[in-house]
Amino acid sequence: MKTICLLLVSCLMLNSSWLKADSVDLATTVAIAQDSVDLPKAFTMGEFEEQFDDLMQEHEALLLSECDNDMDIAFEKWISMLKEMEAYSEIIGYDLKGIKIWLNVFWDKNGTVDHIVYHLKPNSRNIDIEELTAFFSSFMNNYKFPLVTDEKFSHYGSAAFPTFARRVKTTEAEAPKSGQLVKDSVNSKN
């Protein structure tokens, strides 16, 4: 009886070591497979982590630095791209309204979008992720960012659709007089 118990225990020990070896081989196989897969144009954050890290290094320059550190210019270019996304969505009949999202956009030197990596915010409208990924891929095929640079660049930002962003001018001539209330409405008479 002792011999049978010893044999069973030794078999279990051998099997568990085989399982550990198989799990290590499986993890290595998954990592190698992920490296060999072509990186999609658009994907959600958390997918393709190693390739994402490579993208971050390849597109080390930031939109702000490529706009000579002028925040107004960088903001205008970012907003113009978001508005182009909205316009394109209307053309193809895809509804972006209610989507709130974090975007990491990677551009080539000539302004073409290489990749869009995104994550829906918790307060976003529920949508089909595969359809949004297809929308971003299609948008990238039909859009060129209005900036040509000497190096690849990226920007991590936030978007909410519809886009209502507008710049508030703050020159002295346009600043409100002391004690005057500033209305947030574009059509305000004040």
Q: d(Cα 48, Cα 131) in Å, to the nearest integer?
A: 19
Quick: pLDDT tens for 17-50.
Answer: 444 444 445 444 444 444 446 889 999 988 888 8
Cβ proximity of 137 and 41 under 8 Å:
yes
Residue 170 pLDDT grade (very low, low, confident, very high; cuts 50, 70, 90): low
Do the domain assignments include residue 11? Answer: no
Do the domain assignments include residue 171? Answer: no
Do the domain assignments include residue 98? Answer: yes
Question: Total domain count for the chain?
Answer: 1
Domain, as residue range, for 83: 42-160
**Amino acid (1-letter code) at residue 63:** L
Instruction: Identify the pLDDT of residue 2.
Output: 54
Burial label for 66, CB within 10 Å (0-12, 13-18, 19+), is buried
Is this model's pTM higher than 0.75 or not?
no
Q: What percent of the chain has pLDDT over 90?
A: 51
Do the domain assignments include residue 179? Answer: no
Instruction: Give the residue from 135, 149, 159 showing the smallest Cα distance to 79.
Output: 159
Residue of 127 and 146 predicted with greater confidence: 127
The residue to which tokens 């962003």 are assigned: 165
Do the domain assignments include residue 46? Answer: yes
Do the domain assignments include residue 17? Answer: no
Quick: pLDDT tens for 47-90.
Answer: 888 888 888 888 889 999 999 999 999 999 999 999 999 999 99
Do the domain assignments include residue 22? Answer: no
Do the domain assignments include residue 103? Answer: yes
Asked if the peptide bond before residue 122 counts as cis, ω within 30 degrees of 0, the response is no
